[in-house]
């Protein structure tokens, strides 16, 4: 994990396999998608972003325009040190244009991800998408319909901030996460064609933020990959964990339905059956009191929020994994690679160091230099970036974490 191995990598749009288009919305909005397939695993997907690209030199000017005043030099973050060199932002648009834009990019992503798996969108049986701040409450239904998926395909929206895509993957793989009184998503989708990932229009979400760190860290991003649960990806061990952020170290407004009520011993998650075959998993957040979209306690606050609990959850899953390997007569077998949420490089580096102290040591590559923090999309993108290096039979750990606070960690067998 060396963030300095390439001081100024090219932007995402400049990558050789990216398909770039200008979408005819407002004055035109750029979008890029890259498809990835590993035929040995029988698994593929697509990822990308939309909007204008800003590198670390041009970003302060953009942030200043958002703030309506120049960003003081003392508050310009060293983003290269945090693992980020580029991020994508959309211009200011009307609500109608934001909706049309994000539905179109989402539908194009669904089609590209399906095709990367050799599927027609009409063959896809499930679409599970993590989103921090959906542009509409029926967003997943809208993109599924526009992409050409069947109306009866299961659609699940997961609102657990940056943990959304891993919360979705855990639902798809782990039958122990059955929804009380409702559908068991993993049992329903076992052996079927499923797309899982995250789509985050964070430029829209942060456009009215006043938090200077948030405006510099976050950007647009999206990624979906194909899974046939129990076949090309099998759950070995996993855990879903909630730990409410009482201090408000990362405050995020809930732009989705939630009662905003809490009760002792009750889950922070609320499950709603929406119209048709759409299920919503909505997570309680510590919201800013002034109506702003996001307020951060600073980088040390993020370390405090995510590292300690994150290490505990990863350690618990690793112990489950080791016990299973012992039971299967594979004592000493280890995780080949971990795909962790890219909150920032320093958080992941510190987590890795703390895990080593617990006797846990596996690769946790940093893979998103050309995106900012793209919340629920980051693990999906990172997995697709690593996909060509994964072999049949490899064991992969997914490490998702996000505001709320939510953690979803899984060890899986590939292929």
CATH numbers and ranges of domains, the chain: 16-414 (3.40.47.10)
* Residue spans of the chain under pLDDT 50: 1-6
Alpha carbons 360 and 249: distance in angstroms, whole number: 27
Cα separation values, 67 from 17, 134, 210, 265, 404, Å: 35, 23, 7, 41, 26
Q: CB of 408 within 8 A of CB of 235? A: no
Which residues neighbour 140 within 8 Å (Cβ) at sequence distance 6 or greater? 127, 129, 155, 156, 157, 278
Strands (E), 79-208: 86-89, 126-130, 154-159, 194-200
- Angle of the 95-116 helix axis to the 139-147 helix axis, nearest 10: 50
pLDDT at 298: 83
pLDDT at 183: 85
Cα separation values, 390 from 159, 195, 253, 341, 413, Å: 29, 19, 37, 18, 11
The 10 Å Cβ neighbour count of residue 34 is 22
pTM: 0.96
Alpha carbons 170 and 359: distance in angstroms, whole number: 25
pLDDT at 181: 66
pLDDT single digits (tens) 272-327: 988 779 999 999 999 999 889 999 998 888 889 999 999 999 999 999 999 999 99
Q: CB of 25 within 8 A of CB of 390? A: no
Tokens 């879903």 locate to 240
Q: CB of 31 within 8 A of CB of 108? A: yes
Burial 371-390 (b: 16+ CB within 10 A, else e): bbbbbbbbbbbbbbbbbeeb
What's phi and psi for 135, nearest 5 deg? -70, -20
Q: Tell me the H-state helices in 228-344.
A: 299-327
pLDDT at 180: 67
pLDDT at 90: 98
pLDDT at 4: 41
Burial 268-279 (b: 16+ CB within 10 A, else e): bbbeeebeebbb
Tokens 């948030």 locate to 214
Q: CB of 232 within 8 A of CB of 42? A: yes
Query: Please, how many CA atoms are within 13 Å of residue 202, restricted to the half-sphere of its CB?
Result: 30
């Amino acid at each position: 994990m060396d963030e300095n191995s390439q001081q100024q990598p090219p932007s995402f749009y400049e990558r050789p396999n990216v398909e770039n288009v200008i979408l005819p919305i407002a004055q035109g909005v750029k979008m890029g998608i890259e498809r990835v397939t590993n035929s040995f695993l029988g698994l593929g997907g697509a990822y990308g972003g939309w909007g204008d690209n800003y590198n670390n030199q041009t970003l302060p000017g953009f942030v200043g325009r958002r703030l309506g005043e120049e960003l003081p030099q003392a508050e310009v973050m060293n983003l290269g040190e945090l693992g980020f060199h580029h991020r994508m932002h959309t211009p200011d648009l009307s609500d109608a244009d934001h909706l049309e834009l994000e539905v179109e990019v989402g539908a194009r992503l669904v089609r590209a991800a399906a095709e990367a798996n050799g599927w027609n969108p009409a063959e896809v049986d499930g679409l599970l998408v993590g989103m921090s701040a959906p542009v509409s409450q029926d967003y997943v239904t809208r993109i599924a319909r526009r992409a050409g998926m069947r109306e009866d395909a299961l659609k699940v929206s997961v609102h657990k901030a940056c943990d959304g895509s891993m919360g979705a993957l855990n639902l798809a793989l782990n039958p122990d996460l059955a929804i009380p009184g409702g559908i068991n998503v993993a049992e329903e989708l076992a052996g079927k064609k499923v797309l899982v990932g995250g789509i985050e229009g964070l430029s829209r979400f942060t456009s009215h933020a006043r938090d200077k760190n948030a405006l510099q860290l976050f950007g647009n991003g999206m990624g979906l990959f194909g899974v046939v649960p129990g076949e090309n990806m099998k759950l070995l061990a996993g855990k879903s964990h909630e730990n409410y952020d009482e201090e408000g170290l990362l405050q995020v407004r809930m732009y989705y339905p939630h009662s905003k009520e809490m009760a002792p011993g009750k889950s922070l998650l609320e499950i709603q059956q929406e119209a048709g075959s759409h299920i919503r998993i909505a997570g309680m957040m510590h919201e800013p009191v002034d109506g702003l979209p996001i307020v951060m306690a600073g980088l040390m606050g993020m370390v405090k929020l995510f590292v300690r609990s994150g290490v505990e959850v990863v350690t618990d899953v690793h112990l489950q994994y080791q016990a299973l390997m012992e039971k299967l007569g594979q004592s000493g077998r280890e995780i080949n690679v971990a795909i962790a949420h890219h909150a920032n490089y320093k958080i992941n580096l510190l987590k890795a160091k703390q895990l080593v102290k617990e006797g846990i040591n596996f690769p946790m590559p940093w893979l998103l230099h050309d995106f900012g923090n793209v919340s629920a999309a980051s693990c999906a993108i990172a997995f697709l970036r690593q996909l060509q290096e994964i072999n049949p039979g490899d064991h992969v750990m997914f490490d998702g974490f996000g505001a709320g606070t939510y953690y979803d960690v899984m060890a899986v067998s590939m292929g």
